[in-house]
Every structure is written in C-alpha cells, then in structure tokens.
Structure 1
Amino acid sequence: MSAAEGAVAELVVGAGKVLRAYGHHDIADRAERKLSAEERIRSVVVVGEIKRGKSTLVSALIGRDGAAVDDVENSTAISVRFVVADDEHPEGTADLVFPDGVRRIDRADLAEWATTGGRHVLDPTVEALPVAAIVPVASPRLTHASIVDTPGVGGLDPRHAGLAAQSAEQAAVLVMVCEASTPITEPEMTFLRENAAGVENVIVAVSKTDKATTRWREIVAENRKLISRHVGRDIPVVPVSSVRALAALESGLPEHLRERALNFSGLPALWAVLDTRLESADRSPADDALRTSLEGLRRVEQRIEDELNVVKEGEKAIPDLSAELDRLKGLKDEAQQWEQHLQRDLTLARQRASTRLDENLAEVRERWTTKINKSSLDVLRRSPQVFTAQIQSDLLGAMAATAECFLTDLERITTELFGDEERWEQIREIALLSMQTDPLVTGEVASKRQGLLDPSVLSMGMIGTTMLGAVIGVGAIAGVAWVAINLGFRAMRAGKTNLLTWLRETIATVRTATTRMLDGTLATTRPEIVLSRRRQLQERITDLQKQIEEAKRSAQADSAAREASITRLEKNLRITRAKITPIEEALAAGTGAAA
C-alpha cells in the first residue's frame, strides 16, 4: 500500500469510528467496501490498426518475448487478457472463454483458437469458438495491471474503447498503437476524437522506431501537433521500439548495459507514463470512499448541531420541533398517496427504459441485416469470431443503455423522495443485485431451422462485461450476457437465410431477457423504496420526539447540567468536524477528483 493509499485508508477508518458510534454502520461499511482493493481492476487495453506491431508491443509491455499471440500471416481474432500467473492460473496455460463456460488449454495451442488462420477456427466440425482468452504469465509487470490485446481483425473498432471506459471502481488506460513510418492516419485520428472521447486515460504509442531511424522523431512531433489540433486533448505520444525492448530484455548483458539498451528502446518511458495514468485512474475508488464517509459525517454533524440547538434553546425550540413532527406524522399517515405516486413514477421509468431498448434493438437489427445482406458469406466466414462478437457487443450495448436509462430515472425518483443521496446508494445496490437474471433458454422456433437451434445452447446467462460494467459497476454485472455465439457460427455455415433468422431470434431473446431484468428490478426496488421511506419517516419522528423531550428536560435542568450537556455536544461536534476537514482537504487537493 502506498503512502497516499494509507492516508486515505486512515481517513476512512477514522470516519468509520464516528459513523458507527452514531449507528451509521451501513455507511461505514459502504465506504470501506469502495476502498477495498478487491473492487479495483487495473488494466491496460492495447488497440491499433492491423500490422502496427500491437501484439509485439504487448509482449514488450509484459516483458516476455512471444507472450502475445503474434502471427505474421494471421491476425488475432479475439481479445486476450494477460494476467499474472499464480497457483490457480499457472504459466503455460490459457483459459478460453466460451459462451457456456471456460475451458483450460495448453498455452502453446492458443494461436489455433485465437487467430484468423487457427486450425480450430477453420475446422468446420468445431461447433463453438471462444470469444476471449485469459493468459497467465509470470511477469512482475502484470502485478501492476493486466494487459489486454484486442483483436487485430477489423482494425480500430469503437468497441475497443469501451473496454477501457471502465466504471468508477476500475482503473484502465487505453493505448493506441500507430507506426513511426507515417503520421497518424485519418481512421486513427477519428478513433481518438470520437471513440476514445469517453476514456479518461489515453496514450498513443508510436511503434517500430527501429524501422524509421531517421524519421521517427519528426513523426512523433507531427503526431503531437495533429492530436492537439484535431482531438483537443492532452494525449501523451510515446515513441517505442518493441523489437529493441525485447532484445534488451533477452540479451543477457550486464545490468547497466541492459538498462541502457532498454532505455534506448523507449519502453521504460512508456511504462512510466502508463504507471502515472494508472495511478490517476486508480484514484476513483479512494474518492468514492472519501465522499461516502464525508456524506455520513455531515449527517452526524447535522444531528449533533440539532441536539446542541435544542439544549441551548430549551422550551423555545419546542414549537418548531412540534410543527415538524406534525408534518412528518402527516406524511406517514398519507402513505397510500405517496406510494401511488411512487408506483406511477416507477412505471413511467420502466416504460421509458423499454422504449429505449426497442429503439436500440431496432437499430442493431437494421444495421446487421444490411451488413449481412451486403456481405458475401466468404467475408463473414473469414472472421466468424469477430463478426459474432461485434453483434454481441452491440446487443450488450443496447442492454447497458436500457439499464442506464432505468437507473438514471430511479436515482431521480429516490433522491427527490428522500432528499438524501446516501439513501439512493442503498437502493442502487439493491437494484444492481436484482439485475442478475437466471439463464434464459429458447427452444425451436420453426422446423425450417434444420437443427440450427439447440434448445440447450441459446442462453442468456450472467457474465462480466466491461460495457455493462461501465453503467452499473464492477461486482454487480448482471442480467445481460452471451449471445448464442456458437449458433452464429453454425448459422454462417448454413447460409444467409439461417444467419438472418439467427440474428432475429437472438435479438428477440435479448429483448426478453432485458425486459425480464427490468421487471425484476422494478419488483425488487419498489418495496425497498417504500420500506426505506417508512423507516426514514419513523426514524425522523422518533428523533424529533427525543429532541422535544430533551428540550423539556433542558428547560427544567439547572445551569450546571445544561452547561455539561452543551460541553459534551460541542466536544462531539469538534471530533466530527476534525474528521470532516481532512477529508474535504484530501478531495480538494487531488487525492482524487474534486468533491
């Protein structure tokens, strides 16, 4: 744990002691969970046009020649995530992620599953292909962050940016690779300007400087000017020779000569920028934990101030307290009315989300129907994993947008009802958990399918995806899952008609799963909101009754007893404010983003 992380942890723990003393155990627990390292996923996502040296750069970043799938003749067809090896995930193995689970293979066989020319990819008897792979490597660099090598097929796919657009609990950096032989291309510039706009941390790595020894400095300078002019962002542009870096790492030279050669390659400079960006992205969990603690402490501060005012005012405070008590009792008695309004608002939110889903799915259906009709089957079959994974990504995006739409409305409804963001945090956690759906199975839809559909295969199960994670947060990825990838492979072999049928039925399955997710979330959150609102009213009524009794006692107490109560409350207020001030300062000073 770094000094900065230790300081934040100390602030959160200190705040937690005060919060627990006043009965706010849930807030203290939530702050500590947000700070937990288990919720943090640090990753470097490497993207680039085909033949830019992307996989070689991944190997250099890992520090092991040949770590990435690097095939001169063929391109990677799936995303490969490199993680540090351990007892559970030993080096020399690879986990292939299939629609129905994970299969472990020998690392030496990875290219046969992960490249466009792989033996299993081209085998017509193979029923299912992986959509991703996880490769453990014994590399010290992977203890800092996992590294994701995105598919080389199709060049810069906008979906790749989504891999790095992580939720607040994650830290990710997007590295776009371009060549040192020519200035940044228009597609690369478009990707940076449009598709990476939502990614906080982006780096441009100018590769193959060893092949452009006389021009790379000029190209790097030109790229910086072009990016500044056309993107309008301060994006680091770092030159690197992956070949020289790997040669230095494997050279066996004395350490000082090895370090000199490594520095000459530019790799240490790239890692330095990566480390800085990862640390910057890693601040979000600390900020969230500090803000949660701060919100709770301010609630405690308000409570103490109210109690202090009651003791000082005595009987003078009773009329105002009594009026507020009557108002809250009136709200409690009118529960049926506000519950009906709540039901109305939630129903409208559900309808808006459903409309958004229909619009997005219609767009996906139209786009892919057009693409299938315009493309020859030979083109589609050339990269089946990429084709089906792109459809899957679009459908997951539609589901994520639907979840985001509903959660946004739900936040507005609960915040207006409670006037308290902390209550929304509680409801949000419940809503996210309710978005986890059971597997959904569809059966045969028509005899003309000719065995295309296996009822046991087409399922929507739970799986973590960064697209939905960007909406609902790590640890609560839910309800949306794998499109029937293997059925897509079979459909491609059966002809366009079957492929279009597969697309139509898969979209219908997605709609069914998402609609069920919305209904389940609505059914779960409504009673929680109602019960939480009732508890809030009752807690406030109880507090006011206690304050009225305290005001009466204060009026009857002698001056010495009153002063003792004032002294005790003022001490507690000082303690609470002593916890608030450093948290406010930490947020304002940039331990994370400003509060």
Structure 2
Amino acid sequence: MSAPAATTQPSLPKQVRQARERLLALIKEAEPETARWVEEIRARRKKNPSVVVVGETNRGKSSLVNALLGRPGLSPVDAEVATATYLVFGHADSWEARACYPGQLAPVPIDLPELINWVSAAHELPAGELPPRYVEVDGPVELLAKLSIVDTPGVGGLDSAHGELAKEAAASATALLFVVDASAPFTTGELSFLADVGERVETVIFALSKVDQYRGWRQVLEADQALLIEHAPRFAGARFHPVSARMYEMAGKAPNPDAAAMLRERSGVDELRGALEELLVGRSIMLSEANTLRALSTALGELRVKLEAERRALSTGEAEAATLRARKDELTADRRSSTKGWQVKLRSEVQRTRVENNHEVSRQMRDVQSWFRQAIDVADKDRLRELPAQVDTALQMVSARISASVGHRLNQVTETVLGELFQHDELEVIRAQFARHGSSPIVLRPADKRPPTAEDKLLVFMGVSGGFGAGKMALLPLASAVAAPILLVPTIVIGLGAGWWIAKTRKHTADKQHMKQWLTESIADARSTLDQLVAEQLIEAESQLSLALDEALGKRIAGIEEELREVDKALRLDASERSKRLAVVNKRLAEINSGRDRAEQLLASIRTVRDRA
C-alpha cells in the first residue's frame, strides 16, 4: 500500500493572492465602496522596483550602469561628474530625457547627445538653464521594463554630503547596488557608510568592478568580506558579483559571436543583471501586495466594529440604546462646546511640534555649516569649486528630512487628539475613514565669483617683489663668479615663480574666506526659506486637522444615530427573528475576525521574507 502523497504548502505569493481575493469578496458583499477603495490602492502600486547605484568616485559605477543597460557612454563616467544631479533610468518605447525641477519648474526636454552637459561639471549648461535636481532618461531596454535604476553622483566620497544623498535615495528604493573596485579593500569611508546604511536599507547588492585590471582581485574580495564581518556585520556573508564593464563593452566589438559571448560571460554583467531581476522583481510584487493586505485589514477592522454594534443591538436591546444615547450626547457636547477641549489639545500639540522642529532645524543647519567650514579649510582649488554643489545637496537633504519629520510628528498629533476624542472601537472606524480620504525644495543661490580687488593687485605686486628678493638671495653666493647680466635672467625666473606661488597662495586663502562668507549667507537664506515653508505647513495642517476632526465627530454622531435606528428595529423584532438575525451576524463576524487574522499573519510572513533577503 503506497503512502499518501504529502500535501504541498502553496507558495507565499499564491497564499497572498488567494487570501486577497477571498477577503476582497467578503468586503465587497458588505461594503462595495470600501472594496473599491482597496482595489484603487492595489491599482496605484508601483509597477517596477528601483535600484540605487552608489560608489566612491572612479569605482566604475557609471560604466557598470551603462553595461547593465547595454548602452556604453550613456551615463557620464564618475571622473567627469562633479554635480549633485543624479540620473533616473526608466523604460520607454524610444529614447528620451528631461531635466527635472520638482516643485519649481516644468521638466525641460534634453537631446540624448546633450545629456553630459546637464550632469557634468566639466561641461557648460545650455544658456539660460538652471542645474536640475535630477535627470530622467527613458529608453527601450528590457531590464528597465522590470526595474528602474538610479545612478547617483560619485563626487565627494561616501564620507561627505554625497554619502548622505546616497543614504536618503536608497532608503526609498527597493535595493542598493554598492560598487567597489578590485584595486584595494574597502576604505574607511565605505565601511562607515555601510555600517550606517545597514540601519536604513533592506537590501544591498555588492559589485566588485574592474576585475579584469587587477590580478589580485580575489585577495581583495576576501579582504572585503573580512572587513564586512568586522565593521558592518549586517552584511557579513553577502555575495559579491565580480564584474568588468570594460570587458562587456569589448564584447560589442568582438570579431565573431563566439568571442562576444565569451567576453560577456567573463564580464559577469549578465549574471549581475539576472541576480537583480531575480531578487527584486518578485519582492516588489510582494511589497505591493503587503500594501493591499494592510488596506484589507483596515477595512475588515471597520466592518468588525459595525458588526459588533449590530450584535449588541440584537442581544442587549435597551441597554445598548441607553449607552448609545449617552455617547451621542457626550460627543455632541464636545462638538458644540465653546472651549472645545480637543481643539485646545490640537493647538498645544502643533505648537510643541513647531518648537521641536525649530530646534531640529537649528541643529541640522549648524551641522551643515560646521562640516562645510572644515571642508573649506582643507580644500584645494578644484575641491573649492565643487563645494557649492555639495552644499546644495546637503541643504536639499535637510529640507527633505525636516519635511518628513514634520509629517511624522503631525501623524502623532492626530493620533493623540483622536485618542482624546474617541474610544478604541470608534478609532477603528475613524482611522479607516481617514485612510480612504486620504514640500517645496530649497533653491540655493550659486556662489558668486569673487571679483578682483585692489588688495589682490597689491598682493600680486608684493608677491613678485618678494620673489625677486628671494631670487637675488638664492643667487648671491654666485655673484662674485658670474657677471650680473648673466644672473639677471635666472633671477627674474626665480622671482616670478616665487611671486606667482605667493600670489596664488594668498588668492586661494582669500577665495576660502569668500566661500565661507557665501556659505554663511546661503545657509541663512536656506534657514529662512525652510522656516517659512514649515510654518506654512503647520498652519495649513492645523486648519485641515481641525476641520477633519470636526467632520469625524459629525460622522461619528451620525453613525450613532444610525446604530440607534438599528437598535429600535431590533427591539421591534420577535425573539425568533432576532435569534436568526443574531446567528447571521455572529457568522459574518467570525468570518471577518478570521479574515483579519489571516491578513495579519500574511503581513508578518512578508516581513519575515523581506528581513531574510
């Protein structure tokens, strides 16, 4: 006799899909409008996951992006990029690009050959155009139909403002592609970045680039893995993908298909591309399903409250009616009261948010100013020229952080005031109603070019004069042996060289002082703008919350009146009919409770799978 076949547990995606359809049908039967809201949430889910690519300058990051896209030269290589602009690659039937200014200006179309002018400091922007916050590039690439790629600028290093930009970008992405090269193990800046980003980013994929250029890349890989264990244990055991963008590009010029296939295979780019697709595409679907399950759980919670009220009406009758009338009177008094205690509470919480926010803005602005003043002190000429773009990046990040912080705090304010107004079961309904009905960036003025002054001319004169003197002192021992006319030429050369060096050094010092003055003024401007934006946000939020909470009170009072009518109907039923109705309600309530428990179990399973990845 053969053993019975073992039952196979359906895969998690299949379990989620089955539960979603069953629970949606359950809600559709009871509340068609709520079911439509859940379906709208599912329809709004992101179609594609996103990958943010980060790495130090000259790690081969942008070359790797070009290889992944099969388009050499599309993303300008790191060595030429010195701006805070990043590139977002998406899918389209034909190639197109646009410079984006969120919250400021309409996107500006870009011809693809002109792309480098918009994202590289080595090239001039078209006349009259402003530097964009980011540039979108769409094209007919198979990979981009499945996921979008964000190429962040490599200038500045991962221990500077660029590292913060990468962290902020990665926090909202599906994954981070971290590019290091085979020339040497992780730098201190890279390890610090990974230790920090491990607390913010779920998935990090490592690519070891330029393996064709360094014979000892395997030893570097082993050293990198050991350093991760010691300094970033969150990524201990992570898989590295050895790649060579140059070898992949050479495959396009190979003399025959066999040679091209060999080069592509040895480049490791196809393997990395496959790993990205395998890891991210399925996960994106599950994350979007999680959003749908969360909406279903919210809707089921609201239904549960209504069914429990109906059950009480059928089982307790007069006692339930008396409780509802007392609650209605209490809420009506709260709504009509001249003091409106809940409004006082709301204003108090918003004011506390304003004070907390002022302290946080001051702290972050001080940190930015302190960091960049130190960077100015040690900057050479090229580094000094790059700093304004990095200041812009840092202030944009401060703006985004403060906006997110205010939004989070206002959610807490809402919960606090709702907790004062409504009971636990009522909050289930109110939150569901809120769910169904569901900032301008800082514009930094560019650093003005420091105009030459009379002091500069004096410094040049003093430098040349000093240089002549130094030249004469250097040649003085030879004066007795060589005629003065012969010494004149080398004296002039030494004098001019020393004068040039002295003048250059003093000019660089003056440029640093000018940059510090600009930094102070720019941060003051940015602080003023940010304070104004946040103040407007809080004023608008307080007004909208006041209206929303008043509306919520009105809806709850109307809901109680509806429940009272249901109680009156139940009291008019005979015992037999009431018993039948109660049995139906209990059955539906059991289905609702079971369905909500199942939704929460699946959400926990999705989180577990996500955390393992």
Give me the TM-score of the superposition, normalised by structure 1. Answer: 0.76
Code of the aligned partner of 1:350 = R
Cα distance change on mapping 1:528 and 1:238 into 2, 3 Å: same
Alignment equivalent of 2:63, drawn from 53, 56, 63: 56
Q: Which moved more, 1:172-181 or 1:551-560?
A: 551-560
1:67 maps onto 2:74 in alignment: yes
1:518 maps onto 2:534 in alignment: yes
CA displacement 1:313-339 (0-9 Å, x = unmatched):
233434444444444344334462221
Deviation at 1:294, TM superposition (A): 0.6
Q: Kindly name which structure, 1 or 2, has the bigger radius of gyration based on alpha carbons.
A: 2
CA displacement 1:157-192 (0-9 Å, x = unmatched):
453454464598x54322222222432233222221
Code of the aligned partner of 2:369 = R
SS of structure 1 residue aligned to 2:179: strand
Code of the aligned partner of 1:395 = L
Partner of 1:406: 406
SS of structure 1 residue aligned to 2:54: strand
Deviation at 1:21, TM superposition (A): 6.4
Code of the aligned partner of 1:287 = A
Deviation at 1:41, TM superposition (A): 6.2
Alignment equivalent of 1:81, drawn from 87, 104, 119: 87
1:115 maps onto 2:120 in alignment: yes
Code of the aligned partner of 1:303 = K
CA displacement 1:108-167 (0-9 Å, x = unmatched):
33334533433x27x9x9885555433334321122223233323223245345446459
Asked if 2 retains the 8 angstrom alpha-carbon contact of 1:63 and 1:141, the reply is: no
Asked if 2 retains the 8 angstrom alpha-carbon contact of 1:479 and 1:513, the reply is: no
Asked if 2 retains the 8 angstrom alpha-carbon contact of 1:311 and 1:551, the reply is: yes
CA displacement 1:301-323 (0-9 Å, x = unmatched):
12102211220223343444444
Partner of 2:349: 345
CA displacement 1:551-593 (0-9 Å, x = unmatched):
4443442123213322442354355346435423431322787
1:494-505 superposed matches below 5 A = 499-505=515-521
1:305 maps onto 2:266 in alignment: no
Cα distance change on mapping 1:590 and 1:211 into 2, 3 Å: same
Cα distance change on mapping 1:295 and 1:38 into 2, 3 Å: closer
Cα distance change on mapping 1:374 and 1:241 into 2, 3 Å: closer
Q: Distance in 2 between matches of 1:313 and 1:402?
A: 51
Code of the aligned partner of 1:583 = A
Asked if 2 retains the 8 angstrom alpha-carbon contact of 1:184 and 1:223, the reply is: yes
Structure 2 residue ranges without an equivalent (≥5): 1-10, 420-426, 453-510
Give me the TM-score of the superposition, normalised by structure 2. Answer: 0.74
Partner of 1:228: 229
Alignment equivalent of 1:291, drawn from 294, 302, 308: 294
SS of structure 1 residue aligned to 2:174: strand
Cα distance change on mapping 1:154 and 1:567 into 2, 3 Å: same
Q: Distance in 1 between matches of 2:241 and 2:164?
A: 19
Partner of 2:544: 528
Partner of 1:357: 361
Partner of 1:435: none
Code of the aligned partner of 1:35 = R
Q: Distance in 2 between matches of 1:508 and 1:222?
A: 45
Q: Distance in 1 between matches of 2:388 and 2:252?
A: 38
Cα RMSD (Å): 3.9
1:560 maps onto 2:566 in alignment: no
Alignment equivalent of 2:523, drawn from 488, 498, 507: 507
Q: Distance in 2 between matches of 1:8 and 1:236?
A: 29
Partner of 1:159: 162
Count of aligned positions: 529
SS of structure 2 residue aligned to 1:209: coil
Q: Distance in 1 between matches of 2:38 and 2:571?
A: 39
Deviation at 1:342, TM superposition (A): 1.6
1:172-251 superposed matches below 5 A = 172-195=174-197, 197-213=199-215, 215-234=216-235, 235-248=238-251, 251=254
Q: Distance in 2 between matches of 1:24 and 1:491?
A: 64
CA displacement 1:80-110 (0-9 Å, x = unmatched):
42524536xx42x543457866444433333
Q: Which moved more, 1:352-361 or 1:192-201?
A: 192-201
SS of structure 2 residue aligned to 1:372: helix
CA displacement 1:376-403 (0-9 Å, x = unmatched):
555422x3xxx22321222123223322
Deviation at 1:227, TM superposition (A): 0.8
Q: Which moved more, 1:27-36 or 1:285-294?
A: 27-36
